[in-house]
Amino acid sequence: MSEQVVSMESKVKSQVSAARPAAPSPEALALQVVMRLQSTLDPEQVLRYFLQEAAPLVGLSSVRLQSDGLDTVLQAGRSRRCRVVQRLRINGELLGELTLSRARPWREEERETLDQLVALLVHPLHNAVRFQQAQAAARHDSLTGLLNRHALDQALAREVSLAHRHQHPLSLMVVDLDRFKQINDRYGHRAGDAALRRLADMLEENCRGGDLVFRYAGDEFVVLMAHTRASGAMRSGERLLQAVAEVTVAMGEEGECFDLRASAGVAALAEGESAEDLFHRADLALLRAKRYGRNRLICD
């Protein structure tokens, strides 16, 4: 941080004094900017703070970040005509592309000040993007990319509470591959992993926009269906099991194939029921489906 602070040179000083007659020294100002940018680990908030600090110094109207590390493009402020695009790098790694805009064309000395300000932004923004990525990774299953059990616990508690408060229907389906252990034992774990990924894709393709799909554990998956009664959840489950039964996965050098099959249990939220009890009922329905011969769907 001290290098960045020292790098805020006389150009900042003259512009600061023009913009704010009683402004602090450039070093103090740089320190203030860095401390503000470092006070949050939300990338969007970092951009907002940056805009607030840079607006009085260089008339900045907007700042936008496009980064492969983030799901969405982040923006603070309103885009204007005169844009500057900067590729942000940190230790040789590309963090993203920053677009800075304002209404008036940029003069050379203002561009220099802007560059110095952007240099103060890079590290706090990098920390915030990495933190956001770590948080997302903690909520996802690395094999299938689906939300994981930790995310399910949070989503289920939230959806149950919303459904009770607004008296909306809510259904939950637990899906489990049939005789999955045999796939692993016969064709190896790579084939097993491929089968799990295939089922994950099918679950996502099969569900509606508002449904949430999770990998709960091993070969067990959960679909949380807000605003859905048991009848709707059953229709969705039947479609899914039928689609799964049509899948043949080719494996091995001899092109051996195996058929996928799955079983599922469905339960709809009862009045006053807890998240744990709803899950338990759907899980018991799944156990019954297994006991009655697999490749079937049972509603509690």
Binding site for ligand GTP (CB under 6 A): 143, 176-181, 184, 189, 192-193, 196, 218-219, 290, 294
Nearer Cβ to ligand GTP, position 145 or 218? 218
Q: Which residues pair with 8 in a beta bridge?
A: none
Smallest gap from Cβ 291 to ligand GTP, in A, equals 9
Residue nearest to ligand GTP (CB): 192
Per annotation, catalytic residue among 141, 176, 211, 219: 219
Q: Write the burial class of residue 229 (CB in 10 Å: 0-12 exposed, 13-18 middle, 19+ buried).
A: middle
Nearer Cβ to ligand GTP, position 180 or 279? 180
Nearer Cβ to ligand GTP, position 124 or 237? 237
Q: Which token pair is 171?
A: 């259904």
Smallest gap from Cβ 121 to ligand GTP, in A, equals 40
Smallest gap from Cβ 87 to ligand GTP, in A, equals 38
Smallest gap from Cβ 26 to ligand GTP, in A, equals 55
Nearer Cβ to ligand GTP, position 62 or 295? 295
Question: CA angle 29-35-36, nearest 5°?
Answer: 90
Q: Is residue 51 within 8 Å of residue 76, measured between CB atoms? A: yes
Q: Is residue 245 within 8 Å of residue 295, measured between CB atoms? A: yes
Q: Which residues contact 29 (CB under 8 A, 6 or more apart)?
A: 8, 12, 16, 23
Q: Is residue 223 within 8 Å of residue 239, measured between CB atoms? A: no
Three-state DSSP state, 252:
coil
Residue 143 DSSP one-character state: T
Active site residue 283: no
Residues designated as active site: 219
